[in-house]
A = this chain, B = another copy of it.
């Protein structure tokens, strides 16, 4: 089977963009990606976004984004899978290219989160990723659900508070020299341990920040990519769901859908976990980052903190994880995050990642998660030799 090719990459800095609208952010990322791809003829557009209807009073983002870059006329729709909306949009593009219907597709992930002035509104908007009838209605927030997973994981594998600190500390270290990252400052173990508790035992420094951003990709066929030096192959993708409500899972410390999605993506790519040279995990909360590493088949259950603490996940380590700082420090504009992950992987696999570049990676994987593990999409990328 011919594989879809990433021909162009673009993104905005992640920040509180007070002067830019949702449309401005989407356009900036889209135009950068189109330019990077050599401005091919785009046959369809797909937008990954979670909350624009709630926060920005705007649905119909397909039309909005198409028009904002002068491409009205081109087919364009929005895809939503909570915080996995970005990867769901990339999957739409892959299916389209493989179908032969749309040869070149522009993917835009965008989220403008700082239009909300009331913290409670943002908490409600993010909680739409959980089960309204059985969780949110009874007062659960998205952080509180993740706090339950963290407590359960800590008790099951006997983890100390310090053990959870290794991941955010590495993420902040990685983001310091990344121009598009939101939180470009290092944190210490002491700072981590003293950071405020959001929902016991979840601390502020376990949690990804609120931010605005957009990322874009041009995905095309092998022919559509022409002779572009920096083209990267999407060797495989896999997707799976789990129960929406966290409590309905047999074991909340194990992400069933993440394991299933990984298995499917690896099967399509005809690769194994040992082939990974670089990993993008969905570290919206420290514990979820650890569960990602387990589901990807990289570490044993309960051992993720040791893997991070060992230095193996550093940029210069055996298997670098989130060299741009991950959701924790690069930032997490929710519907855009999956596109950022894949854009960053594509730059790494074409040696264009700048200060965060790791040495000569050939295969990379990105895991994007919606809800507390309810919707997982995994993409495996490969360098084109």
Interface residues of A, Cβ cutoff 8 Å to B: 1, 21, 23, 44-45, 50-54, 56-64, 66-67, 71-82, 88, 91-92, 94-96, 98-102, 124-125, 127-133, 136, 238-244, 248, 256-257, 260-261, 370-371, 374-375, 377
Chain B contacts for A129, CB-based, 8 A:
59-60
- Would A60 and B243 be within 8 Å (CB), given that A81-B78, A128-B53 are in contact? no
A193 to chain B, nearest CB (A): 33
B77 and A80 within 8 A (CB)? yes
Contact of A76 among B1, B57, B136, B375 (CB under 8 A): B375
Chain B contacts for A124, CB-based, 8 A:
57
A71 to chain B, nearest CB (A): 8
Query: How many copies, total?
Result: 2
A59 and B51 within 8 A (CB)? yes
- Give the secondary structure class of A's interface: mixed
Q: How far is the CA of A195 from the CA of B100 in the complex (A)?
A: 49
Chain B contacts for A241, CB-based, 8 A:
45, 62-63, 66-67, 71-76
Chain B contacts for A248, CB-based, 8 A:
67
A295 to chain B, nearest CB (A): 14
A63 and B375 within 8 A (CB)? yes
Chain B contacts for A374, CB-based, 8 A:
60, 63
Contact of A80 among B59, B127, B128 (CB under 8 A): B59
B133 and A21 within 8 A (CB)? yes
Chain B contacts for A95, CB-based, 8 A:
92, 95-96, 99, 101-102
The residue on B at minimum CB distance from A59 is: B128
The residue on B at minimum CB distance from A44 is: B239
Chain B contacts for A127, CB-based, 8 A:
57
A385 to chain B, nearest CB (A): 25
A57 and B136 within 8 A (CB)? yes
Chain B contacts for A242, CB-based, 8 A:
63, 67, 72-73
A59 to chain B, nearest CB (A): 4
Contact of A132 among B57, B81, B125, B243 (CB under 8 A): B57
B57 and A50 within 8 A (CB)? no
A77 and B21 within 8 A (CB)? no
The residue on B at minimum CB distance from A102 is: B95
> 10 A-B residue contacts at CB 8 Å?
A51-B59, A53-B53, A57-B132, A59-B80, A63-B371, A71-B241, A72-B241, A73-B257, A74-B240, A77-B92
